[in-house]
Amino acid sequence: MRNTTMAFLFCLISSIAHAQEIVDLNKAMKCSEPQKVMNYFVDTHKEIPVWVGKTVHNSHITLLMNRETRSWTMIEYDDRLACVLGAGEDKSASSKPEI
């Protein structure tokens, strides 16, 4: 029984330690000229900018949202290129992200 308990604790500690690592991720993204990307989401999804932030790399991140459908899109852009970081529908408002 003691060996089983020790094995369980080892697995638990190992998985917690592993979960604390931050890894680099490469994912395919849709990118184009900034005005084309913005116009697409404004015209097609009726999303408007609700938040804009500047990154430490001198790019900008904008959160677009359609308040009626609750669709949203997050775009990172600079002077020459804009990429969609993520998009979806906000099913609930929360001040704390669920991870």
Q: Which amino acid is residue 85, in one-letter code?
A: L
* Residues 80/86/92/94 CA torsion (nearest 10 deg): -70
The rounded distance, in Å, linking the Cα atoms of 79 and 58 is 10
Write down the pLDDT at residue 79.
Answer: 94
Low-confidence ranges of the chain (pLDDT < 50): 5-7, 9, 12
Q: Of 30, 99, 73, 98, whose CA–CA distance to 89 is shortest?
A: 73
The rounded distance, in Å, linking the Cα atoms of 92 and 99 is 15
For 30-54, write each residue's pLDDT tens digit.
Answer: 999 999 999 999 999 999 999 999 9
Chain center to CA of 34: 18
Looking at the whole model, is its pTM more than 0.85? no
Write down the pLDDT at residue 6.
Answer: 47
